[in-house]
Amino acid sequence: MFDGSHVGISPLSGAVASSCRRRGRRLNVSSAAVPMPGPLTPYVDGFAAVLTAEGYAARTVTLYRQYVGQLSRWLEAHSLGADVLSEGVIEEFLVERHATGHQTRLRVGSFASLLAYLRDVGVIGSPEQVPAGEVDALLLRFAGYLTKEQGLAQPTVSLRVQLMRPFLVGLTEHGSLDLPSMTAEDVTTFIVAESQVRPASVPPTVTALRSLLRFLHVEGFISAGLTSAVPTASGRRLAGLPKALPAEQVAAMLATCDRDTAVGRRNLAILTLLARLGLRSGEVARLRLEHIDWRRGEIMITGKGSRHERLPLPGDAGSAIVAYLQDGRQAGAHREVFLCARGPYRPMSPDTVSNVAAAAARKAGLGIVRGHRLRHSAATAMLAAGGSLTEIGQVLRHQHTATTAIYAKVDIAGLRRVARPWPTPEAAA
């Protein structure tokens, strides 16, 4: 494993590691039973415990108990069991409830947490995904093909489905999807139009369209393979320069975090991981408590394609995480390290993690900066510290060396060493 010593990544100190190993929290949730008639009675205490664990205020949990009690009595009055509960049934309950003069008007979404809990404990089944039309039905099958046959990760599947919706909608005439009449001209026209409107999205659109056409051919929707009709997108992945921040600007972002508040301690830990290890926002969001090996000073990262890799945990990043865990993170059932600052205390999403970087940049007066910008900053900082492109690729977990090669463009000292003098002696003679 790459130990990080060549690029200034020092392991956790013994004091920090010991502090974290000693730390432990327990969830103490009161589950005092509340008399309630109806089929939901066996589940109300467990549901309330989940709400409490997710950070809902005690008053809010009490209100949910009341609403669940009303729903349970309504189910009993209509001779319905808990196993039939669905959004549609709740909508019928709310119609009658509002008709009886209840001042608090609830919505179906108010019971989303209850339905999720009942699904988790196996009382009701998962809702079926019903396509809205032919395009949605086809995209649903396409998503299944990408997942099961191609083995693609969910974010990739979602992106390809999203990119192909306009193409399929364009083939719809008079409310019907006419796939057998698709021609090579339809394919090229779509890509050409996309290049004029959204040129940056052309490469992933080309890839998605080829996948869709292969799927349609394999499944018998079209008789001829049309993948050859898809134009080749120009490869300009390494045309630009990585947009890194200088060290003083990264320090300015870290300085915006108020270490006297729980949010500030959390944000400092997040920004330090982004800036020191170049983690992706999604990798920070997926970091779990058991992924941190305090004794060895390592963390396990779940990267693209659900790959697991170990990295050294820098001392400053480890200290920031310790401060957040000891005095900032809400105790609860979630194992993810970073939770939302307000109840319900659920794990942060990748977008929320990236927004932490954006907010810090605004406070530091740096304009628009997203989480991935700090990844570039980490790479260039390692390069400046004497790290090789191979070592940087290991830290950033690039699958291909060509992906790391772009950072050679910002290695000014290295470029000077290989640059030939100009004009050459022959030209000057």
> How would you label 159-170 residue by residue, b for 16+ Cβ within 10 Å and e otherwise?
bbbebbeebbee
Q: Is 375 a catalytic residue?
A: yes
Mean pLDDT, range 12-21, rounded to an integer: 52
Mean pLDDT, range 142-162, rounded to an integer: 87
Mean pLDDT, range 82-99, rounded to an integer: 82
Q: How far is Cα 89 from Cα 354, in angstroms, rounded to an integer?
A: 38
The closest of 374, 280, 361, 284 to 321, measured between CA atoms, is 284
The closest of 99, 95, 96, 36 to 68, measured between CA atoms, is 36
Q: What is the pTM of this model?
A: 0.55
Given the residues 304, 346, 362, 370, select the one marked as catalytic: 304
Q: Is 334 a catalytic residue?
A: no
pLDDT of residue 31: 38
Q: How far apart are the first and last CA of the chain?
A: 53
Mean pLDDT, range 362-389, rounded to an integer: 78
Confidence band for 152, pLDDT divided at 50, 70 and 90: confident
Q: Is 280 a catalytic residue?
A: yes
Which is it for strands 176-177 and 292-293: parallel, antiparallel or unpaired? unpaired
Q: How far is Cα 169 from Cα 136, in angstroms, rounded to an integer?
A: 10
pLDDT of residue 151: 85
CA 355 to chain centre: 12
Given the residues 372, 373, 400, 420, select the one marked as catalytic: 372
Query: Which is more confident, 244 or 48?
Result: 48
pLDDT tens by residue, 238-292: 555 457 788 899 999 999 999 999 999 999 999 999 888 888 888 899 999 999 9
Residue 228 neighbours by CB distance under 10 Å:
10
Residue 5 neighbours by CB distance under 10 Å:
12
Separation in Å, CA 61 to CA 34, 56, 64, 120, 268: 12, 6, 5, 19, 31
State which amino acid sits at residue 182: M
pLDDT of residue 392: 65
pLDDT of residue 136: 85
Given the residues 97, 160, 266, 280, select the one marked as catalytic: 280
- 3 state SS of 16: helix
Mean pLDDT, range 305-324, rounded to an integer: 87
Q: Is 372 a catalytic residue?
A: yes
Query: Which is more confident, 172 or 416?
Result: 172
Q: Looking at residue 72, what DSSP letter applies?
A: H
DSSP E strands, 134-225? 172-173, 176-177
Q: How far is Cα 294 from Cα 304, in angstroms, rounded to an integer?
A: 24
Question: Does the pLDDT value for residue 297 go beyond 50?
Answer: yes
Given the residues 119, 141, 217, 398, select the one marked as catalytic: 398
Q: Which residue has the tokens 């609830």?
A: 106
Q: Is 407 a catalytic residue?
A: yes
Q: What angle do CA 124, 56, 326 make, to 5 degrees?
A: 120
Given the residues 56, 64, 324, 407, select the one marked as catalytic: 407
Q: Looking at residue 47, what DSSP letter applies?
A: H
Question: Does the pLDDT value for residue 364 go beyond 80?
Answer: yes
> How would you label 35-52 residue by residue, b for 16+ Cβ within 10 Å and e otherwise?
ebebbbbebbbebbbbbb
Confidence band for 146, pLDDT divided at 50, 70 and 90: very high
Given the residues 97, 160, 265, 375, select the one marked as catalytic: 375
- 3 state SS of 85: coil
Q: Which residue has the tokens 């119609």?
A: 95
Q: How far is Cα 44 from Cα 76, in angstroms, rounded to an integer?
A: 15
Q: Is 363 a catalytic residue?
A: no
Query: Which is more confident, 397 or 211?
Result: 211
Average pLDDT, the chain: 79
pLDDT tens by residue, 163-217: 898 899 888 765 678 888 888 898 999 988 888 777 767 888 899 999 999 999 9
Q: How far is Cα 74 from Cα 424, in angstroms, rounded to an integer?
A: 91
Q: What angle do CA 72, 77, 80 make, to 5 degrees?
A: 70
